[in-house]
Amino acid sequence: MSRDGGGLRTRVKTARGRTAQSTRWLERQLNDPYVRRARAEGYRSRAAYKLIELDERFALIRGAKRVVDLGIAPGGWSQVIKRRLPKAAVVGIDLLPVDPIDGVTIFQMDFMDDAAPAKLIEALGGAPDLVLSDMAANTVGHPQTDALRTMALVETALAFACDVLEPGGTFVSKVFAGGADSQLVAEMKRNFTTVKHAKPPSSRKGSVEWFVVAQGFKGRRDEPA
């Protein structure tokens, strides 16, 4: 490992057993200001700043009392919620193990499991007013396939949100470049007052991720107007 440019940038030498790709990833991590900031401020990942920046633009978090964090690992988004809303009830779910977070109930299970939605709401103690989804399917290297698999997760997360959200609630989800497809956006517009796409500054320029923000849930269709 070495530094160039007057000590401003860390360069990583390719080591035995480390591929060129992993070396580039490590170098990028070491030189990423959001990674350094996350370490300094006690966040588990740079992803925390994506939610912070989305909140600054859309005021997502203010006043939320019950929050669901889909795809919680490693926990940065829930950390942001608990720091800003210490009294909010927060539940999260992920296939990956997640270290405990004070005040957050975490399930290690597949969100696609039929039992998952009921477990989340039972642990939350009532209907959420904010559903967050940072879920993305494991990539297989084929862009169209990867996009389709992730969009299937977005559709499932949206269906869950529309089943459980309090009227006036908010749904936020990661999507791929180009945003949610037109059919999915139309479904969101039927259920929410406003639907917008955003790419927060902390999302890497080369990343294909965007976020869709749906606010002002109109209420479940089986509810009286």
**Is 13 annotated in the active site?**
no
CA geometry: angle at 104 spanning 103 and 105, to 5°?
Answer: 125
Point out the catalytic residue in the list 87, 174, 199, 205: 174
**Beta-sheet pairing, 209-217 with 170-176:** antiparallel
> What is the distance, to the nearest Å, from the Cα of residue 113 to the centroid of all Cα atoms in its chain?
19
The whole-angstrom separation of Cα 199 and Cα 154 is 16
Residue 219 identity: G
Gap between the Cα atoms of 132 and 208, Å rounded: 19
Distance of CA 112 to the CA centre of its chain: 16
179: left (phi over 0), alpha (psi -120 to 50) or beta: left
- Of residues 117, 36, 130, 119, the one with CA closest to residue 77: 130
Residue with tokens 């297989």: 140
Helix pair angle (48-58, 33-41), 10° resolution: 90
Single-letter amino acid, residue 86:
P
Please give the Cα distance from 175 to 220 (Å, whole number): 23
Catalytic residues, by residue number, are: 174
